Amino acid sequence: MWRITAYGLGIARERFDYRFNPRRGHSLKLDASVGRKRTTTAVIGEEVPSPTVRSLQYELEGQAVAHLPIKRRSTLRFAAQGGWMINDNLYRNELYRIGGLKTLRGADEASIYASAFAIATLEYRFVYEENANFFAFIDQGWWEDAARAQLLTDAPRGFGLGTTFETKAGLFGLTYALGQQFGNPIGLRGGKVHFGFTSLF
């Protein structure tokens, strides 16, 4: 079992011409925390108390996005995001869960456990209406899992096409992506379809 008491600080900045479907602008978000962690190997029913290990745990997360307009209807989207946990006693249920629509397209949703990760995105968007676009993208990632007995790491990638369009309820997104992990061949049978929804409230 483990318990952590952490204190953190975060900053955020957003400057887009239109936040739901931007053509120009940027955003930045950064969060940092430090906490005191108590870890014990106690087993329910044991009468003898187990020793408690105390340690400091550090965590850093960030995301940066920039849109550069191309003529009247197109934009290039550059994005980078990442996270890093530092502690010699990490557990699987506290790791980052990456993969899927908001992190690494072409991978199953939240299928990758990572103690540290970084993902870079390049995306071309054709904006044909105020709340609608077509896009093509590539996501390049890196991650490691330091909670294992032996360190595991990979540099997966995903690429594909998608569209976002307006409905009465909000913005609906549909993405088709192919992905590659651990150097395995890319196959059409392994394609993933990601769905997303954004409320306009």
| pLDDT attached to residue 201 | 72
What CATH number is attached to the domain comprising 172? 2.40.160.50
| pLDDT attached to residue 45 | 54
| Cα–Cα distance measured from residue 114 to residue 141, given in angstroms and rounded to the nearest whole number | 12
| In-domain check, residue 145 | yes
| pLDDT attached to residue 106 | 97
Residues in CB range of 94: below 8 A, 6 or more apart: 2, 85
| pLDDT attached to residue 46 | 56
| Cα–Cα distance measured from residue 98 to residue 92, given in angstroms and rounded to the nearest whole number | 13
**How many structural domains does the chain have?**
1
Range of the domain at 151: 61-198
| Cα–Cα distance measured from residue 128 to residue 11, given in angstroms and rounded to the nearest whole number | 33
pLDDT by residue, tens only, the chain of 201 residues: 889 999 999 999 999 999 999 999 999 999 999 999 998 876 555 555 667 889 999 999 999 999 999 999 999 999 999 999 999 989 999 999 999 999 999 999 999 999 999 999 999 999 999 999 999 999 999 999 999 999 999 999 999 999 999 999 999 999 999 999 999 999 888 899 999 999 987
Give the residues across from 105 on adjacent strands: none
| In-domain check, residue 6 | no
| In-domain check, residue 39 | no
| In-domain check, residue 132 | yes
The three-point CA angle 33-14-21 to 5° equals 125
| In-domain check, residue 161 | yes
- Alpha carbon distances (Å) from 163 to 78, 98, 110, 117, 148: 17, 22, 22, 27, 38
H or E segment at 39? strand 25-40
| In-domain check, residue 147 | yes
| In-domain check, residue 18 | no
